[in-house]
Homo-oligomer: A and B are copies of this chain.
Amino acid sequence: MKRIGMLTSGGDCQALNAAMRGVVKTLANADEEVEIYGFLDGYRGLIYGNFRMLSSSDFSGILTKGGTILGSSRTPFKLIREPDENGVDKVEAMKQNYHKLKLDCLVILGGNGTHKTANLLREEGLNVVTLPKTIDNDLWGTDMTFGFQSAVDIATECIDCIHTTASSHGRVFIVEVMGHKVGWLTLNAGMAGGADIILLPEIPYDINKVVEAIKKRTERGSRFTILAVAEGAISKEDAKLSKKEYKEKMKNNPYPSVSYEVAAKIQKLTGQEVRVTVPGHTQRGGSPCPYDRVFASRLGAEAGKLILKGEYGFMVGIKNREIVKVPLEDVAGKLKMVDPDATIVKEAKLLGISFGD
């Protein structure tokens, strides 16, 4: 018999349920008997022993369901070593719960922060298998994370809607796209939505270049310009600041997010009306797209296989269209960013898209 703990951590996204269903279906279809302990609200459930037993029927009908049936929370990695407000040592508590329940392994679904903690638990001797979940697609060691394509779909639909209204009115529109410190989501939604200008964290922008691109469009007779701006986009000047200097500068920043800052600058330099749309958390929600459902199910199946074979310490990912296992120590602490010289960026430029650089 296998006793498996399972948890979802960090910002939720589409296809978390699909991935868990994949693991559990695979285990259920194997000969071995399996017990699934679902820890609630991410690592918090593991720390405080908050879980519920899950049967196959809990995973029936959830392939298409957004969110996570286990709940999630952000337990900041930076504080994982610090005791909580009651003096509880979180890492020790997790280890104790793991051993008390006699778990054979933990299945952990999450993004960057989650993987740092997962690797730490591995170093502490726990058996861990992880699955790469994030709409940001910034996890090292895998070409793709689930949630990403679904988020691209939603952000693109948003740009599509703006497109029809923009073409009636003749204005500048900014759509702020999620993605934290990386630009994958903005780059793909921007290209899919036919954005004219795309601003990414990896390619700091020069506002004069941005304005130039807008003016060029106006001169050519275009009645509107659409910008896809990553929530982590940054100007060339700000990119030169040290972390400390930047933090200091941000203290007096009157804008709720970078898009409003870009909007204010454009409005000032061109006199054109600029409208900002912030789809925000909708990008994490809704039913996973078919691509993500297949992808997450496949990852889940392979994670199930690893567990049946007793191979631990890996993230299951995809490389060149093959499902692969990647040692956790290779994943943790790294970020997969958009290379400013990547082929896809060059192709976007061929299509006439400006990156403001």
Interface residues of A (CB under 8 A from B): 8, 11-12, 14, 16, 22, 25-26, 28-29, 41, 61, 63-68, 71-73, 143, 149, 152-154, 156-158, 160-170, 173, 188-189, 191-194, 223, 256, 260, 275-287, 289-291, 293-294, 297-298, 300-302, 304-305, 320-323, 343-344, 347-348, 350-352
Contacts and interface: CB of A to CB of B under 8 A. Distances in A.
A191 B294 contact: yes
This chain: copies in complex? 4
8 contacts: A64-B194, A71-B223, A156-B290, A162-B281, A164-B286, A298-B344, A298-B347, A323-B343
Contacts of A64: 160, 163, 194
Nearest to A26: B350
Given A298-B344, A350-B305, A285 B165 contact: yes
Contact of A169 (B12, B61, B163): B12
A67 B167 contact: yes
Nearest to A298: B347
A264 to B, nearest CB: 11
Given A149-B291, A301-B351, 8 more contacts: A25-B350, A71-B168, A154-B161, A157-B286, A189-B290, A193-B290, A289-B289, A300-B351
